[in-house]
């Protein structure tokens, strides 16, 4: 299957691993028990592109949770969303009075859908308000922030999950099985890329290092890193990266295109790349006696794939609905998410090491 030409618009339109065991105490059990048979209430924090275009529509298809509240800094959006989604005034917050959400029994889960530099702050404020949290990718600006978020959630006895929707997507789940179970022998090769040609606002937060942490690597490369990790079910130990910048004015503060090699225990080396200037979305895997691949691999739908040249037979699903329903079930049943904060931390350790390698020009350990 050829690498698909894939624009941001297509991405918009088409768009197991190690679940760290969180200690769940009596507070959590009583919360779940107090709402028998009820759908849990989710509040979206940040009503930008992803909340408006994907999460709120997906919440119209969920079984275990529903859109109960919103947090926004824009009064006009509050009016519009209240009308469109029938959200009562008492469940609408802004960034200043957000902490009062602690007193609101309608809200069980807070979904942080803000620019990356606000992920840590709002995750911590959410668990301090005794809510469970889903935080969007990339989890935070760096691995240190991720570790802090995980520790705070654990201490508060609250579940934390990352918005890794592809863990619920059938084609990607098949790749996890085929890779981790060595369906055709040992994995001998993985190559993956994810990116789009940035044509948006040159002043957007995504292009500011302090707000985004980085560029195409943080935003799109995280999928390629995830894809490699969930194909192998192993953690990489070292990385060597290079980069290319053809639009230095636009990408003054952040990376444009990054290429990397990951080394895994046992010596396997895989390749990956990310970009804000190329349209990529693929994951290709070779094992000793067979191969499988996805392309488009990482969008919201129109995911396609093949195993030894034969098309995968899976349907498209509303990934975000499956992801949020699963987390609501985790909260109700007191069990950790399959995409806990620890998953986000593992990816950010790789991202941090890639940036170190770009600086040093050498192989860097992933620690
Ligand atoms: P966006 O810019 O469209 O929306 C961000 C929202 O945050 C806006 O409503 C903005 O008003 C609000 N905001 C609050 N404080 C802000 C501040 N100080 N500066 C700037 N904005 C502020 O961004 P988005 O595309 O919705 O992305 C939000 C998060 O969702 C990011 O972490 C992104 O990576 C993630 N995302 C995930 C997926 C996915 O498939 N899982 C897809 C798109 C975006």
CA of 72 to the centre of ligand 1 (A): 11
Please say which residue of 109, 132, 165 terminates a domain.
165
Looking at the structure, do residues 151 and 203 belong to the same domain, yes or no? no
Looking at the structure, do residues 88 and 33 belong to the same domain, yes or no? yes
> Does residue 138 have a cis peptide bond before it, meaning omega lies within 30 degrees of 0?
yes
pLDDT of residue 307: 98
Looking at the structure, do residues 108 and 257 belong to the same domain, yes or no? no
Q: What average pLDDT does range 28-38 have in this prediction? A: 44
111 lies in a domain? yes
Q: What average pLDDT does range 227-241 have in this prediction? A: 98
| Residue 140 domain boundaries | 8-165
What CA–CA distance (Å, rounded) separates 123 from 99?
Answer: 11
Rounded to the nearest integer, the mean pLDDT of the chain is 91
For ligand 1, atom 12, name the residue with the nearest CA.
46
Strands 40-45 and 109-112: parallel
Q: Answer whether 52's CB lies under 8 Å from 70's CB.
A: no
pLDDT digit string, tens, across residues 114-155: 999 999 999 999 999 999 999 999 999 999 999 999 999 999
Looking at the structure, do residues 147 and 176 belong to the same domain, yes or no? no
Please say which residue of 106, 138, 165 terminates a domain.
165
CA of 111 to the centre of ligand 1 (A): 12
Domain count within the chain:
2
Confidence label for 31 from pLDDT (cuts 50, 70 and 90):
very low
333 lies in a domain? no
211 lies in a domain? yes
Q: What average pLDDT does range 181-193 have in this prediction? A: 98
176 lies in a domain? yes
Instruction: List the single range of 7-16, 82-91, 212-221 with lowest mean pLDDT.
Output: 7-16
Please say which residue of 135, 165, 195 terminates a domain.
165
Looking at the structure, do residues 134 and 156 belong to the same domain, yes or no? yes
Looking at the structure, do residues 259 and 306 belong to the same domain, yes or no? yes
pLDDT digit string, tens, across residues 244-265: 999 999 999 999 999 999 999 9
For ligand 1, atom 21, name the residue with the nearest CA.
115
Looking at the structure, do residues 193 and 141 belong to the same domain, yes or no? no
Asked if 284 is an active-site residue, the reply is no
For ligand 1, atom 38, name the residue with the nearest CA.
50
> Which are the contacts of 17, defined by CB distance < 8 A and separation ≥ 6?
229, 230, 233, 338, 343
335 lies in a domain? no
What CA–CA distance (Å, rounded) separates 12 from 300?
Answer: 7
Q: What average pLDDT does range 43-47 have in this prediction? A: 98
pLDDT digit string, tens, across residues 279-293: 999 999 999 999 999
1 lies in a domain? no
How is residue 235 written in tokens? Answer: 């953690």
Beta bridge partner(s), residue 160: 133
Q: Is the CB of 212 under 6 A from ligand 1?
A: no
Looking at the structure, do residues 75 and 203 belong to the same domain, yes or no? no
Looking at the structure, do residues 135 and 228 belong to the same domain, yes or no? no
How is residue 83 written in tokens? Answer: 């009308």
Residue from 223, 282, 300, 355 carrying the catalytic annotation: 223
- The answer on pLDDT for 200 being more than 60 is yes
Q: Answer whether 217's CB lies under 8 Å from 277's CB.
A: no
pLDDT of residue 38: 86
> Which are the contacts of 266, defined by CB distance < 8 A and separation ≥ 6?
none
Question: Domain holding 273: CATH number?
Answer: 3.30.360.10
Question: Domain holding 78: CATH number?
Answer: 3.40.50.720
What CA–CA distance (Å, rounded) separates 165 from 258?
Answer: 23
Give 326-329 contacts, CB < 8 A, sequence gap 24+. Answer: 326/168, 327/65, 327/109, 327/132, 327/134, 327/159, 327/161, 328/39, 328/40, 328/42, 328/62, 328/64, 328/65, 328/108, 328/109, 329/64
Looking at the structure, do residues 137 and 284 belong to the same domain, yes or no? no
Asked if 346 is an active-site residue, the reply is no
Confidence label for 365 from pLDDT (cuts 50, 70 and 90):
very high
86 lies in a domain? yes
What CA–CA distance (Å, rounded) separates 219 from 104?
Answer: 33
- The answer on pLDDT for 216 being more than 80 is yes
Percent of the chain with pLDDT over 70: 90
Whole-prediction pTM value? 0.92
Looking at the structure, do residues 278 and 293 belong to the same domain, yes or no? yes
323 lies in a domain? no
Q: Is the CB of 137 under 6 A from ligand 1?
A: yes
What CA–CA distance (Å, rounded) separates 279 from 128?
Answer: 40
Beta bridge partner(s), residue 93: 71
pLDDT of residue 37: 57
Beta bridge partner(s), residue 66: 41
Looking at the structure, do residues 138 and 106 belong to the same domain, yes or no? yes
Confidence label for 29 from pLDDT (cuts 50, 70 and 90):
very low
Instruction: List the single range of 5-14, 64-73, 173-182, 341-350 with lowest mean pLDDT.
Output: 5-14
């Amino acid at each position: 299957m050829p690498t698909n030409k894939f624009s941001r618009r297509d991405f918009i339109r088409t768009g197991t691993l190690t679940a760290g065991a969180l200690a769940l105490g009596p507070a959590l059990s009583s919360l779940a028990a107090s709402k028998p048979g009820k759908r849990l209430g989710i509040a979206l924090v940040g009503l930008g592109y992803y909340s408006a275009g994907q999460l709120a529509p997906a919440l119209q298809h969920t079984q275990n949770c529903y859109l109960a509240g919103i947090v926004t800094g824009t009064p006009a959006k509050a009016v519009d969303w209240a009308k469109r989604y029938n959200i009562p005034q008492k469940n609408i917050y802004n960034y200043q009075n957000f902490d009062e959400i602690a007193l609101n029994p309608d809200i069980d889960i807070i979904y942080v859908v803000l620019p990356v530099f606000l992920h840590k702050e709002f995750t911590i404020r959410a668990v301090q308000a005794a809510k469970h949290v889903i935080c969007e990718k990339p989890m935070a600006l760096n691995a240190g922030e991720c570790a802090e978020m995980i520790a705070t959630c654990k201490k508060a006895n609250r579940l934390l999950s990352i918005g890794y929707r592809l863990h619920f997507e059938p084609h990607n789940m098949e790749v996890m099985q085929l890779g981790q179970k060595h369906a055709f022998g040992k994995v001998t090769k993985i190559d993956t890329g994810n990116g789009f040609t940035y044509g948006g606002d040159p002043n957007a937060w995504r292009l500011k290092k302090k707000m985004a942490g980085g560029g195409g690597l943080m935003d799109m490369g995280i999928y390629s890193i995830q894809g490699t990790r969930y194909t192998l079910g192993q953690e990489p130990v070292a990385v060597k990266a290079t980069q290319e910048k053809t639009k230095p004015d636009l990408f003054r503060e952040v990376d444009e295109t990054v290429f990397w090699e990951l080394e895994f225990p046992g010596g396997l080396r895989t390749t990956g790349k990310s970009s804000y200037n190329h349209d990529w979305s693929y994951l290709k895997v070779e094992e000793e006696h067979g191969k499988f691949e996805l392309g488009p691999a990482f969008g919201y739908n129109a995911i396609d794939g093949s195993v030894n040249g034969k098309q995968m037979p899976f349907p498209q699903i509303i990934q975000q609905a499956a992801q949020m329903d699963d987390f609501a079930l985790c909260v109700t049943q007191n069990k950790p998410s399959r995409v806990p904060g620890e998953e986000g931390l593992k990816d950010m350790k790789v991202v941090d090491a890639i940036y170190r390698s770009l600086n040093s020009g050498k192989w860097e350990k992933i620690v």
